[in-house]
Structure 1
Amino acid sequence: MREKSIGFVGGGRITRIILDGLRRAGEQLNDIIVSDTSADAVSRLASAYPEIETVHNDNRQAAGRDIVVLAVHPPVLGDVLSEIAPSLQTSTIVLSLAPKFTIPRLISRLGGFDRIARMIPNAASIVNAGYNPIAFSQALTDRDKSDILDVVSHLGQCPVVCDEDLEAYAVVTAMGPTYFWFQWAELLRVAMHCGLSEKDAKTGIASMIIGAVRTMFESGMTEEEVFDLVPVKPFKDEEDMIRSIYKSKLESLYEKLRS
């Protein structure tokens, strides 16, 4: 059972994903407060999660909890850090979900406060199947780390990684589903157009995806050997274009996150 109170600074989609994931895992949402600058967001949260406390435009209240989750985007995170720094207690643990702001940078912007963790969340956390790499500052004890992991482990896998690797995970695992979801949705439409029921199409596509991933990464075969397993490749003429999109879009995005 969770013993620590939690304050979310920011009530957007990632906060809703985490709250939904915790609820789906059977966790109680009591002793959780969420602050957001949007009155509409606060109202939606209060309606969807009546057991939590919500406050409009007062991050100091959220910052007074045992675990403070920074669920805001990098462009506004700097101002948020300055705002909440005076409200942090010596025993507080700050968990940032934003890329770009490394642990040393967070410590600097918080005036030397160093009880910090960073996690790059994955949307599949909403169904407790996320892949959420996490890094800890040297100031956190084993008990502190356990307190954080007791919460986030309900969302899926939470491998402990190096802080400097988190921007790569932001590009690969956090944004990764968006590279495929629209393709799977289109494949579902094609399957139904070809006569499959929606249920059978979803079952077939999901099983195909799982099997394809296992073949790619667990078979011990080379890429070329895997590619050669299926002789008919309807998108072969477009493969080079798709590869170039990956390289141009994602590598430049990573560099922006690291700058």
Structure 2
Amino acid sequence: MNKQTVGFIGGGRIARIFLAGWTRAGKMPAHVVVADPNAQALAQLKARYAAVETTTDLAAAAAQDIVFLATHPPALTEAAGAAARALRPAAILVSLAPKFTLAKLSALLGGFSRLARSNPNAASVVGFGMNPIVFAPALDAADRAAVHALLAPLGESPEVAEEKIEAYAVFTAMGPTYLWFQMQALRELAVSFGLAPAEADVALKRMVCGAARTLVDSGLPPAEVMDLVPVKPLAEMEPQVLELYRTRLPALFQKIKP
């Protein structure tokens, strides 16, 4: 069990992802405070995670050892203002939102510089997340190790350059949404074709992971990888799908860049 006290400013999806991942791994921190102005969201969290302290007082979460700023960008400025009044000098604040750079966060926090930024990935729920992180210079090796210890049960947390955080946000943080609905459709179809649900689930995991590893690790050019299967039932739809990727995602990336 991690002995650092942890605060979440924001009790939405990101807090739920972290709490679920820690619970699954048996690595829940010793003391967790989740603050959110939405009492209903807090009640739902408390019903699932009884040991977690919930409050509408954002300052209570900001007073912990490691504080996760887990709000959407539109609410971040106000949340940072509440945090600035309660942060301990030795605390570490980890922002989980794109767009707000370390420099901008420090300004919003009245010059507080013990900062990090990360882009959480939903697969952290099952310990298979991709959660890239960037640390401010004010955090030493021990500080960084403390944050990594919290992220380790959730999956991978490579240290990256700050200018790459928004790229990871579009690629890995939002990435599952590009694939989940297709995978679920395949899962349902496999059962309709006669596979037992358990058989379909095993096959889906192996197929999806194997497809990614073949594309990335086989050493073959992408065109050769895509030619390994001779029958392509959805080939005529590929141009429309690729057009969506090549227009919507770059536009989104430009929108969230600092």
Common fold, TM-score beyond 0.5? yes
Task: Render the CA deviation track for 1:67-89: whole Å, top value 9, x for unaligned.
Answer: 11111100000111112212111
How do 1:1-259 and structure 2 match up within 5 A? 1-56=1-56, 58-259=57-258
SS in 2 for 1:89: coil
Task: Render the CA deviation track for 1:188-220: whole Å, top value 9, x for unaligned.
Answer: 122122222211112112111111111100010
For 2:191 and 2:18, how far apart are their aligned partners in 1? 33
Task: Render the CA deviation track for 1:28-75: whole Å, top value 9, x for unaligned.
Answer: 34311110110101111121111111112x101111111111111000
Superposition RMSD in Å: 1.0
For 1:147 and 1:29, how far apart are their aligned partners in 2? 11
Task: Render the CA deviation track for 1:205-257: whole Å, top value 9, x for unaligned.
Answer: 21111111111000100011111111111111111111110011111000001
TM-score normalised over the length of structure 2: 0.97
Q: Is the 8 A contact 2:10 2:71 kept in 1?
A: yes
TM-score normalised over the length of structure 1: 0.97
Q: Give 1:205's aligned amino acid.
A: L
Unaligned 5+ residue runs, structure 2? Answer: none
For 2:47 and 2:98, how far apart are their aligned partners in 1? 29
For 2:116 and 2:92, how far apart are their aligned partners in 1? 7
Q: CA deviation at 1:133?
A: 0.3
SS in 2 for 1:24: helix
Q: How many residues align?
A: 258
SS in 1 for 2:110: coil
Unaligned 5+ residue runs, structure 1? Answer: none
For 1:28 and 1:15, how far apart are their aligned partners in 2? 12
Q: Give 2:80's aligned amino acid.
A: L
SS in 1 for 2:23: helix
Q: Is the 8 A contact 2:124 2:155 kept in 1?
A: yes
Q: Give 1:44's aligned amino acid.
A: Q
Task: Render the CA deviation track for 1:131-184: whole Å, top value 9, x for unaligned.
Answer: 100000011011110111111111001101011111000000001001010001
Question: 4+ residue runs of structure 1 moved beyond 4 angstroms?
Answer: none
Q: Is the 8 A contact 1:5 1:66 kept in 2?
A: yes
Q: Is the 8 A contact 2:73 2:98 kept in 1?
A: yes
Identical residues among aligned pairs (%):
44
SS in 2 for 1:230: coil
SS in 1 for 2:189: helix
SS in 2 for 1:7: strand
For 1:243 and 1:46, how far apart are their aligned partners in 2? 42
